[in-house]
Amino acid sequence: MKKLMLGNEAIARGVYEAGVTVATAYPGTPSTEITENIAKYDEIYSEWAPNEKVALEVAIGASIGGARAVSAMKHVGLNVAADPLFTASYTGVNGGLVIFVADDPGMHSSQNEQDTRIIARGAKVPVIEPSDSQECKDFTKEAFRISEEYDAPVIVRLTTRVSHSQGTVELDDRENYELKPYVKNPAKYVMMPAMAKRRHVSVEERMAKLKEYSENSSLNRIEWGDKKIGVITSGIAYQYAREAFGDVSYLKLGMVYPLPEKLIKEFASQVETLYVIEELEPFIENQCRIMGLKVTGKDKLPVIGEYSAGLIKEKLLGETIEKLNDIQDEAPGRPPVLCAGCPHRATYYVLKKLKLTVSGDIGCYTLGALAPLESVDTTICMGASVGVAHGMEKARGKEQSKKTVAVIGDSTFIHSGITGLIDMVYNNSSGTVIILDNSITGMTGHQHNPTTGYNIKGEPAKQVDLIKLCQAVGVDRVKVCDPFNLKEFEQIVKEEVAADELSVIIAQRPCALLKHVKFGPVLTINQDKCTKCRMCMRLGCPAIVDRGDHIEINPTQCVGCDLCPKVCKFNAIEKAGGQNE
């Protein structure tokens, strides 16, 4: 049967067909749908872990326990999981272990543009790279065979366009994979110096064997066409190259680490001009250059951003795109915004009003950095808000902590904010951390987390109590407030920032997009009462629009959250009747 599937969905199908029984992940665009789709198969135990490090450790445990296991994450998630990855490379596996890592060239939804292949090479873990949905499924199954035959965790590297493109996939049945026996084996699984020294030897031997495998693997294939041009490529870049060059010769690499050097040499020897086309870092290209091959690649193509067939044509073939009109230039940008009804809007409105320095974090609430809220000062990585605020205090003294807050989402706090908070407790901080508890992992599309009370399947689960957690690590001042109670929230923030002790404020209000969140009727501005003072405009609500001669509320955008009437001193904002969901 043929089905149209997202790359991520096809990965999940491959996981299912490979007989996997344990899957664990932390959500992150563009990888999230892998695990969401795996969770639909009842044959596979799946979970959201608190972060990628834990997720990978659970998968390693499952593999040592004899099951085929997977973990999925975005590129920056692999940084969090790098510690277990580098040593799991030494221990190897029992049941097959495959890690799906989705890079985000062009940074559609990420804070950097790193290339997973480089981390994988550092960890000496083989890397497989599919180019479309069918390969996502097929390569996943091959990855398990490699993992078990060569005793290695295997990374399947994806990019946004592969993960988030749908293509046709031929479905097969699930393989009946028998749990392997677990046999105690400290020489393999206890990585202390004496054992690790021996395992490192095994790792090097394995990589040499994998190189041989790569030479003959069906993952790598030559498509002969016109031999005037030869293109070495992999992943989504293969699709772009095919479209740009048409019927020339291709060496399409499905296994990008270790690379098949003999195959590359043989291919190179038969073509006149050799191109290497790969997004981000010159990973394949550098290897070709080390091998002494004359190639064209990053000397003409960028290491920044996504590629396209058009870009390749422009940079390598000198073709330009004819401009058919001159009207497009007029279009102003449309950056993403906090949704109408978003709880974070109220929080940032208060923080901006109080002119605080805001150490930010990763999530929807990063959007508080944009106009008109312009509240966030820094965003580094998951959990960094807490440590960065602490560091600012230590650099600039207590006076700085009296005008600084860290803001961090509920899921992000559990992911890696809690350790930062423990640092603040232990090292005598007087800072203020605001946990933006919107009852869900928002930006990635509403996944449950340890604070929501439900598991990945939506079944009731034990709930981590944020108040008790903060108190337990030693924070004496823990306050809870709905940021939509603007006055009370402002008062609490003022007090806690001024306090000489460390405090946590839990700003509690569910995400406006959650199904159970219901607001009142749509609002409207009574133009007779409005003085155009523009206070409501400071909220940066996408529903409130300045029309020049008057300000109005767009009834198709307003959700009736009732925040703007609270900032209007003239009671000009009224209920209009009618409701948007």
| Least distance to other proteins, CB of residue 298, Å | 20
DSSP-based three-state secondary structure for 155: strand
State the Cα–Cα distance between residues 247 and 232, nearest whole angstrom: 14
Torsion angle, CA of 546/548/550/554, rounded to 10 degrees?
-40
Q: Given the complex with other proteins, which of 213 and 240 has the nearer CB atom?
A: 240
The CA angle 524-527-531, to the nearest 5 degrees, is 115
Long-range contacts of 134-138 (CB under 8 A, 24+ apart): 134/10, 134/167, 134/168, 134/169, 134/170, 135/254, 136/5, 136/7, 136/8, 136/10, 136/11, 136/14, 136/162, 136/169, 137/5, 137/10, 137/11, 137/13, 137/14, 137/17, 137/169, 138/14
| Least distance to other proteins, CB of residue 370, Å | 7
| Least distance to other proteins, CB of residue 178, Å | 35
Q: Given the complex with other proteins, which of 64 and 338 has the nearer CB atom?
A: 338
Q: Given the complex with other proteins, which of 64 and 364 has the nearer CB atom?
A: 364
H/E element holding 29?
none
Q: Given the complex with other proteins, which of 191 and 370 has the nearer CB atom?
A: 370
Q: Given the complex with other proteins, which of 286 and 308 has the nearer CB atom?
A: 308
Q: Given the complex with other proteins, which of 445 and 453 has the nearer CB atom?
A: 445
Q: Which two tokens stand for residue 258?
A: 């270790």
Q: Given the complex with other proteins, which of 303 and 337 has the nearer CB atom?
A: 337
| Least distance to other proteins, CB of residue 159, Å | 11
Q: Given the complex with other proteins, which of 109 and 485 has the nearer CB atom?
A: 109
Q: What is the DSSP secondary-structure string of 101-118?
A: EEE-TT-SS-S----HHH
Q: Given the complex with other proteins, which of 340 and 466 has the nearer CB atom?
A: 340
Residues that bind other proteins (CB under 8 A): 2-4, 6, 29-30, 32-33, 108-109, 132, 161, 164-168, 236, 238-240, 242-243, 308-310, 321-325, 327-328, 330-339, 364, 367, 370-372, 443-445, 537, 540, 542, 544-546, 554, 556-557, 580-581
| Least distance to other proteins, CB of residue 272, Å | 23
Q: Which two tokens stand for residue 189?
A: 């699984």
Torsion angle, CA of 33/34/40/46, rounded to 10 degrees?
-120
| Least distance to other proteins, CB of residue 39, Å | 17
| Least distance to other proteins, CB of residue 556, Å | 6
CA-wise closest residue to 130 among 145, 144, 140, 119: 140
| Least distance to other proteins, CB of residue 531, Å | 17
Q: At what angle do helices 418-426 and 384-396 cross, to 10 degrees?
A: 30
CB 562 within 8 A of CB 541: no
CB 223 within 8 A of CB 241: no
| Least distance to other proteins, CB of residue 132, Å | 8
**DSSP strands (E only) in 206-286:** 221-223, 226-234, 248-253, 255-257, 273-277
Instruction: Please state the three-class secondary structure of 2-28 as a single string.
Output: EEEEEHHHHHHHHHHHCCCCEEEECCC
State the Cα–Cα distance between residues 522 and 577, nearest whole angstrom: 6
| Least distance to other proteins, CB of residue 307, Å | 9
| Least distance to other proteins, CB of residue 467, Å | 29
Q: Given the complex with other proteins, which of 229 and 544 has the nearer CB atom?
A: 544
| Least distance to other proteins, CB of residue 414, Å | 20
CB 542 within 8 A of CB 334: no
Q: Given the complex with other proteins, which of 359 and 366 has the nearer CB atom?
A: 366
**Distance between alpha carbon 29 and the CA centroid of its chain, in Å?**
4
Q: Given the complex with other proteins, which of 64 and 162 has the nearer CB atom?
A: 162
**Distance between alpha carbon 187 and the CA centroid of its chain, in Å?**
35
| Least distance to other proteins, CB of residue 309, Å | 5
Q: Given the complex with other proteins, which of 239 and 449 has the nearer CB atom?
A: 239
State the Cα–Cα distance between residues 207 and 209, nearest whole angstrom: 5
